[in-house]
Structure 1
Amino acid sequence: MSAQGLLQVLMSTYNGEKYISEQLNSILSQPYQSIQILIRDDGSSDNTPIIINQYKQNYPERIRLIEGKNIGVVPSFWTLMQHADLSADYFCFCDQDDVWMPHKAQRAVQLLAEMEKEDETFKSNIPAMICTDTQLTDGELNPTAIWPGMPHLKPSFYNALIQNIAVGATVTFNRATLELLMHKKKNVNIADIQMHDWWAYLVVSCFGKFHFEHTPSIYYRQHGGNAVGGEWTILQKLKKKWNSFLKHKGNKNLLVQQAKEFKRLYGSEIVNPEIRIQLDLFIEPRKNIISRIGYLRKSKLYRQSLMEQLLFRFLILVGYI
């Protein structure tokens, strides 16, 4: 690994002409200079590809563009991982409309390097991933709140099965994580993955090291109708948490489907017997109230707040999960 390990930014864009220049400028002006940017445009109909190509002409050695058809967020980021440069040391997900804080790249690489060195036996061969809080802003980057302000409890596989705390735009991971995510890439059912960042949290929490940093690393721009986080009322938060739990594809709960896909791909590699037990218990059908109560007595799964945990247990009891 070089003195400044190469960080490759994986950015998916779609009709982002209004804000993408500000985001690219914030990345290219990082004091940490060993950065390359791989962009996949998800079939934009505005000037986004034109703007990116202009930057590409100015920074031919730092920016690469894949112009694709509209396939959606998760498949687009998955494609980016498939085309990532395996000679890079670190990788991060990136959205088009945020702005990086000046310390983002340097701090992420520093944390990952420290995590890799904690065990000299594994060094950079152990999957390591970090994510952070964000500084919520309005469309003009005026600060509003810190979000999500988690975790309250320790991140772990028992949390990752039923909750995502990894804000994708803040996620950075090492090469070992990318190799772990991609080594079964031809067989992954993308439709069963809730989000690319959640999947990464799930996989790394089982096989590697995960760290949540409470210092924001990005200005997380909220614009149009997508206001979230600190701006919400308690009732709005409850409604979102309820709806996120009730996502279904036909009669199949998406949380369970994601867990099944994880077991199909990685089940044979799990060495922790308790993780195996908890994964199987979560996937196992619960056909009546007796089996649901029995499950809750055995389950070690948890969400990050008492309110969320009570909602999880209630939805198990009524058969939604």
Structure 2
Amino acid sequence: MISVAMTTYNGEKYICEQIESILNQSMKVDEIIVCDDGSSDSTIELLKKYPVKVVQNDMNLGYRLNFKKAMELCSGDYIFLCDQDDIWLPNKVEEMMRMMKSHSNMHVLSSSFIYIDDKNQEIQMKVDKSRSNNNLYCRPVEKDSLYQVDFLDYLAMNYFQGCSLLLDKWIKDLVLEHYSTDIEHDYLINSIAASYSSMYFYNKPLFQYRLHENNSIGAQYDTQTKEEHLQRANTLKIRTQNAHNALNVLNIIRLANSDYYQENQEEFSHMSAFFYQHIQALENKKFFKLLCQNTSPYYSLIKTKKARVMDLLYVLKEKVIR
């Protein structure tokens, strides 16, 4: 049985296109569960035209808890996560199910995508040959190939949006058992699956991902100017975000995959100590402490060379301002 877990909030502008793209798949899904988070527009009325189950929240949960609720209500052996404003290509379900069923150790699969704007026009992105998945993933992956994602890749950030994911019931139940709102729902799913060596990326675009001003989460950097990106990056919150993410992920894995955590407990302990010290160095503007941290292999797990230079420049700038 195949389920779709969708969340909505004031999605009247695009919801019909998305629902119809799911219903017109070459391989049919068995149920579409929609959890609405208090829409005040015509989203609910539009959904009544389709064979979907709509659950309206009594109070606004926010997207992290709303996706949790949608997953809980899914009864399928396989669950696709779905946003309200994208468009699935006709073979998305068939292609991803084929991949999932042909790999017994695969519990989560992400596909690539095509950016579109609010008029369904494709948005072209400048390709970085050192990256993949529209430059979101930090490693190059050959087109149309399958790649197993390493757990350590997830320490700093998430690379695959929830709307790109297919997961099976085993990982869904495990994620729900250890659900945390400390990180995004897709980051949680992907990092737990990667710790079990069961997270894969299929570098083939199977849906259209819409960029518009009302995205609740998404690829913010891709629509920013260079100046806007630099201004946003030069804040303490952003400079410490990756280290906070890493600490949250390690704590989640300690509970969700205790065997893996125990096997790597000493290494994880050293990592945690480094990430704490890194946050403190940034908070306290310790230039030479940050400079010395560049000798640690753990720094490269959460930041690129360019980002490490920016840490130093951030501290220097803050010292001058003070």
Q: More displaced, 101-110 or 263-272?
A: 263-272
User: CA 1:204 to 1:224, structure 2 compared with 1: closer, same or farther past 3 Å?
Assistant: same
User: Of residues 155, 179, 191 in structure 2, which corresponds to 1:161?
Assistant: 155
Cα distance in 2 for partners of 1:171, 1:317 equals: 41
- Paired with 2:197 and 2:301, the residues of 1 have a C-alpha distance of 19
1: CA distance, partners of 2:113 / 2:315:
31
Instruction: Indicate whether 1:51 and 2:30 are aligned.
Output: no
Task: Give the counterpart letter for 1:245 in structure 2.
Answer: I
Contact 2:261 2:268 in 1 (8 A): no
- 1:242 CA displacement: 5.2
Structure 1 residue 89: Cα displacement: 2.4
SS at match of 1:65: strand
Q: What is the match of residue 211 of structure 1?
A: 200
2:88 aligned with 1:100: yes
CA distance in 1, matches of 2:99, 2:119: 30
The count of residues paired between Structure 1 and Structure 2 equals 287
Q: Which stretch has the larger CA shift, 43-52 or 277-286?
A: 277-286
1:89 to 77, 80, 96: 77
Name 1:128's counterpart in structure 2. 107
What's the Cα RMSD here? Answer: 3.4
The change in CA–CA distance for 1:296 and 1:313 in structure 2 (over 3 A counts) is: farther
Q: 1:54 to 1:233 in 2, by over 3 A?
A: same
1:266–1:295 CA distance, 2 compared to 1 (3 A): farther
Q: Say which SS state the counterpart of residue 136 (structure 1) adopts.
A: strand
Question: Cα–Cα, structure 1 residues 128 and 300, in superposed 2: closer, same or farther, change >3 Å?
Answer: farther
Change (3 A) 1:15 1:308: same
The reply on whether 1:24 has 2:16 as its aligned counterpart is: no
Alignment match, 1:114:
102
Q: Deviations over 1:188-232 (max 9, x none)?
A: 442x2x210011111111013222222222111122365845544
Cα 1:259–1:229 shift into 2, 3 Å: closer
Task: Kindly indicate whether the alpha-carbon contact (under 8 Å) linking 1:44 and 1:70 is maintained by their aligned counterparts in 2.
Answer: no
Letter in 2 for 1:302: L
Alpha-carbon distance, 1:29 to partner: 0.3
Q: CA deviation at 1:110?
A: 1.4
Tell me the CA shift for residue 40 of structure 1: 0.4
8 Å CA contact 1:181, 1:203 repeated in 2: yes
Tell me, yes or no, if structure 1 residue 268 matches structure 2 residue 263: no
Displacement of 1:82: 2.0
Matched, 1:233 2:225: yes
Q: Give the gaps of 5 or more residues in structure 2.
A: 126-132, 140-147, 318-322
**Further displaced range: 239-248 or 127-136:** 239-248
Contact 1:13 1:40 (8 Å CA) reproduced: yes
Preserved CA contact (<8 Å) 1:133 1:149: no
Q: Which runs of 5+ in 1 are unaligned?
A: 1-5, 117-125
Q: SS in structure 1 opposite 2:149?
A: coil
Write the distance in 1 (CA, Å) between the matches of 2:315 and 2:103. Answer: 36
- What TM-score comes out, normalization by structure 1 length? 0.76
Q: Is residue 241–residue 308 contact of structure 1 (8 Å, CA) maintained in 2? A: no
Amino acid across the alignment from 1:110: R
Compared CA separation, residues 297 and 142, structure 1 to 2 (3 A): same
Percent identity, aligned pairs only, is 21
Q: Return the alpha-carbon distance in structure 2 between the equivalents of residues 225 and 13 of structure 1.
A: 12
2:36 matched to 1:13?
no
What is the CA deviation profile of residues 38-79 of structure 1, one whole-angstrom value per residue up to 9, with x for unaligned ones? 110011111111211221xxx2xxx21211021101010111
**Aligned residue type for 1:65:** V
Asked whether the equivalents of residues 40 and 66 of structure 1 are also in contact (C-alpha less than 8 Å), the reply is: yes
CA distance in 2, matches of 1:297, 1:253: 14
- Supply the AA of the counterpart residue of 1:151: Y
CA distance in 1 between partners of 2:40 and 2:256 (Å): 38
